[in-house]
Amino acid sequence: MMAELLKHPNVMKRVQQEVRTVVGNKSKVVIEDINKMDYLKCVVKETLRLHPAAPLLAPRRTSASVKLGGYDIPSDTTIIINGWAIHRDPKWWENPEGFIPERFEDSSNIDFQGQDFHFIPFGFGRRACPGMPFGVVTTEYVVANLLYWFDWKLPAGEIPEHLDMTELYCHVPQENTSSCYTSFEKLSEIQKFQKQG
Ligand code: HEM
């Protein structure tokens, strides 16, 4: 998520502004704050759309033969569901390769509860991720803190357009970069003082 934010400075600016405005002068981010961070939630969703943690979900098996999309699928067949491809299907997503959190503002009822079958970062049905509430809250809380306390930037000489966002394939994808691509600056005491003043 931080790599996408560094690649899209306009999104970084908007979400960081939201986080700092909501938290205000408090000494720490509290969970009630997170519930007011609507744009942060859109950023989390958009990141999970483009970079699902388990792109092929958990394998399924048919318990009976079925005809689907013109194909005859016998009973006892292992089914692999390509969530990664579904999340980039132009039939469902406008500009599918773009990192555009705003798309979840316009259609705010799209959620990852497993009812919207074109957005399944936590899967669906009986095999759906049981850790979803914990995973979402933890992600939102950690990212809100990273954005509240730190200003993020690329190392000197790097530009957002050159950030390589391709992923190395394995069950859980990793970014295709072996070097550390971000650095950050802690909010200086002066900035903190100004914010609190
Ligand atoms: C952002 C964080 C997380 C993401 C994106 C995620 C995503 C997923 C996905 C896509 C699946 C497969 C679902 C399916 O095939 O329908 C899954 C399964 C699972 N997840 Fe998560 N997960 C996250 C966090 C967690 C956490 C925090 C826990 C536990 C504390 C957890 C425990 C599990 C377990 C046990 C399964 C296997 C369920 C089964 O096969 O019956 N996950 N997760």
Tens-place pLDDT, residues 77-110: 999 999 999 999 999 999 999 999 999 997 668 8
Rounded mean pLDDT of the chain?
87
- pLDDT exceeds cutoff 70 at 29: yes
Closest atom of ligand 1 to CA, residue 53: 5
Give the pLDDT of residue 171: 57
Give the pLDDT of residue 173: 63
Higher-pLDDT residue of 132, 165 = 132
Q: Give buried/exposed letters for 138-173 (b at 16+ CB in 10 A, else e).
A: eebeebbebbbbeebebeeeeeeeebeeebeeeeeb
Q: Is 129 annotated as a binding residue?
A: yes
Q: What is the residue extent of each domain of the chain?
A: 2-55+82-196
Closest atom of ligand 1 to CA, residue 59: 15
Query: Which of 125, 110, 130 lies closest to 48, judged by CA?
Result: 110
Dist. CA 174 → ligand 1 center (Å): 17
- pLDDT exceeds cutoff 80 at 6: yes
Q: What's the whole-model pTM score?
A: 0.88
Give the pLDDT of residue 109: 80
- pLDDT exceeds cutoff 60 at 54: yes
Residue having the nearest C-alpha atom to atom 21 of ligand 1: 129
Average pLDDT over residues 8-13: 97
> What is the band of 115 on the pLDDT scale with cuts at 50, 70, 90?
confident
> What is the band of 155 on the pLDDT scale with cuts at 50, 70, 90?
confident
In angstroms, rounded to a whole number, what is the distance separating the alpha carbons of residues 145 and 139? 10
**Is the minimum distance from the CB of 124 to ligand 1 under 6 angstroms?**
yes
In angstroms, rounded to a whole number, what is the distance separating the alpha carbons of residues 171 and 169? 7
How much of the chain is in helix, strand and coil states, percent to nearest 5?
40, 10, 50
CATH of 2-55+82-196, one of 2.40.160.40, 1.10.630.10, 3.40.50.300, 1.10.300.10: 1.10.630.10
- pLDDT exceeds cutoff 90 at 114: no
Provide the percentage of residues in the chain whose pLDDT is more than 70: 84
Give the pLDDT of residue 180: 45
**Ligand 1 binding pocket mutation candidate from 122, 136, 138 (most atoms within 8 A of CB):** 122
Residue having the nearest C-alpha atom to atom 9 of ligand 1: 122
Average pLDDT over residues 168-178: 59
**Ligand 1 binding pocket mutation candidate from 129, 134, 137, 139 (most atoms within 8 A of CB):** 129
Give the pLDDT of residue 135: 97
Q: Is the dihedral of CA 64, 67, 72, 78 positive or negative?
A: negative
> What is the band of 156 on the pLDDT scale with cuts at 50, 70, 90?
confident
Closest atom of ligand 1 to CA, residue 58: 15
